[in-house]
Amino acid sequence: MPSPVSLNLNYVAPFVADHEWEQLRPAVSRAHRLLHTGTGAGAEFLGWLDLPEKGNHEELAHIEKTAVRIREYADVFIVIGIGGSSLGSKAVISGLNHSFHSFLHPKKKNSPDVFFLGEHFASDYTAELLEALDGKSVYVNVISKSGTTTEPAIAFRIIKTWLEKTYGKEEAKKRIIATTDREKGALKTMADGEGYETFVVPDDVGGRYSVLTPVGLLPIAVGGISIQDLLAGARAACREYNEEHLMHNQAYQYAAFRYLMYQKGKQIELLSTYEPKLTNFCEWWKQLFGESEGKDGKGVFPASATFTTDLHSMGQYIQEGRRHLFETVLYIGKSRNKIEIPQSKGDEDGLDFLSGDHLDAINEKAYQGTMLAHTDGSVPNLILEMEQLDAFSLGALIYFFEKACALSGYLLGVNPFDQPGVESYKQNMYALLGKPGHENRRAELEERLNEWA
């Protein structure tokens, strides 16, 4: 079965000449070989590359069995993680589940409400979540390879304490699932000591590529989404985007287009969608490309927008601001629901000419009109089209971007699988918090802060 993701290059011709594609083809072939022979930078983290093809039937069966049990007994499922430990599952759940799942009548739900914690240190958010849990049956999935990442580690302390006070220590243990390292780390040690059910974070898959591993699949399955369909879509994409030749591989064409835009001074990519259910998917995409490419003073800055909402806030800048951005549009052909525009007796708003039309049709014309306006304003537009938003299509789109991102990093000459810069803020934070061993650094940082006060 082919990938349901289609790359539309019809609107980029004014911005990229035919010979530019041809000149880039040898570099794409070299990057492809680095990726598929495991000889490029970061090759120890290529487990995602053939993950949809390999599969692990025993692991998937374990995930689905656990998800069924949680869906049966839980009102609320809390996912504790940060970055790649939460963004992927949040993207899929919000993309495919009912937009107002929390407000549905219990009889209309086939899964618990899924909430996310451990992504920040915000007191009000945490307190309000705890308040909302009163009287609910709660299960928790804590996700961390090490167990020492500060945000989720603190969140887990808080939730673990709440669970033990609410249910007692023994029952709390049954409600906690840990997704962590196979053999080592603080969370693995705690999970073994407490007897938590566990799933493994693969050693050869980095966090931002981990949505199709237990890291993402367990929360997604608990959310009532078919992980079999999700993986089937990824598998179709894995097979389709395996071709070395640039003009036969749409994932590589996307990566090549980004590289060409970057060389022409387009330093910002705006991923836009006309479907608000994909807003969190854009957040996952931003981490994937930002953390993979943003190093060595290089990289396209990933930004996102949800249209038509953001056309009323950022549209002016996109249309007439600095010409340093290009746009990739995620376009969904049809919705699951049809909403017809009713007729108004007095036509007070002057919109009776739309009576009988569907919102989908209006959304399509808004997309077409915006795309034409932006290209006229010298904003190159690349279109990624899917006929519908379902688990199969979203699985394919995830793999499309993962493959394109890896190749894009190699084209830029960076390691797309490490993130050394992420540690800088952590070390400063640890020092300012007084973590043992950081005393000298703390004094230095406090002196600098005082100078700027």
Report pLDDT digits (tens) over 392-418: 999 999 999 999 999 999 999 999 999
Count of residues in the chain: 453
SS3 113: strand
Which amino acid, 87? L
Mean pLDDT of the 221-240 span: 97
CATH level 3 topology of 51-230:
Rossmann fold (3.40.50)
- Distance (Å, whole) CA 292 – CA 295: 8
pLDDT of residue 193: 96
- Distance (Å, whole) CA 196 – CA 423: 29
375 preceded by a cis bond (ω within 30 of 0)? no
Confidence of residue 451 (pLDDT cuts 50, 70, 90): confident
- Please write the tens of the pLDDT for every residue from 363-376: 999 999 999 999 99
Q: Which long-range contacts (CB under 8 A, 24 or more apart) does 57-66 make?
A: 59/199, 59/200, 59/214, 60/217, 60/227, 60/228, 60/231, 62/199, 63/199, 63/214, 63/217, 63/218, 63/221, 63/227, 64/221, 64/227, 66/177, 66/197, 66/218, 66/221
| % of the chain exceeding 70 in pLDDT | 99
CB 187 within 8 A of CB 173: no
Packing angle between helix 18-37 and helix 250-263, nearest 10 degrees?
120
Q: By CB neighbour count within 10 A (0-12 exposed, 13-18 middle, 19+ buried), where does 399 fall?
A: buried
Q: By CB neighbour count within 10 A (0-12 exposed, 13-18 middle, 19+ buried), where does 451 fall?
A: exposed
pLDDT of residue 223: 97
Pairing assessment for the beta strands 5-8 and 381-388 based on DSSP bridges: antiparallel
pLDDT of residue 148: 86
pLDDT of residue 422: 67
Which amino acid, 118? G
Q: What are the residue ranges of helices labelled H in 140-249?
A: 150-167, 169-174, 186-194, 214-222, 227-240
- Please write the tens of the pLDDT for every residue from 114-164: 999 999 999 999 999 999 999 999 999 999 998 888 999 999 999 999 999
Catalytic residue among 169, 334, 365, 426: 426
pLDDT of residue 421: 66
| pLDDT surpasses 90 at 439 | no
How do the domains of the chain map onto residue ranges?
5-41+243-412, 51-230
pLDDT of residue 425: 80
321: which 2 tokens? 């601001």
- Distance (Å, whole) CA 444 – CA 446: 6
pLDDT of residue 435: 80
pLDDT of residue 437: 74
Mean pLDDT of the 220-235 span: 97
Active site residue 108: no
- Among 70-79, 190-199, 209-218, 443-452, the least confident range: 443-452
Catalytic residue among 269, 283, 291, 402: 291
CB neighbour list of residue 358: distance below 8 Å, 6 or more residues apart: 338, 339, 340, 341
Chain mean pLDDT for the chain: 94
pLDDT of residue 99: 95
Secondary structure of 275-341 as H, E, C letters: CHHHHHHHHHHHHHHHHHHCCCCCCCEEEEEECCHHHHCCHHHHHHCCCCEEEEEEEEEECCCCCEC
Question: Which position has the token pair 């927008």?
Answer: 305
Cα Rg of the chain, angstroms:
23
| pLDDT surpasses 80 at 423 | no
pLDDT of residue 334: 86
Asked if the domains 5-41+243-412 and 51-230 are classified in one and the same CATH topology, the answer is yes
Look up the pTM and report it. 0.95
Has domain 5-41+243-412 been given CATH number 3.40.50.300? no
Active site residue 345: no
- Distance (Å, whole) CA 22 – CA 13: 14
- Among 269-283, 386-400, 432-446, the least confident range: 432-446
CB 246 within 8 A of CB 253: yes
pLDDT of residue 453: 74
CB neighbour list of residue 143: distance below 8 Å, 6 or more residues apart: 79, 80, 81, 85, 86, 152, 178, 179, 180, 201, 215
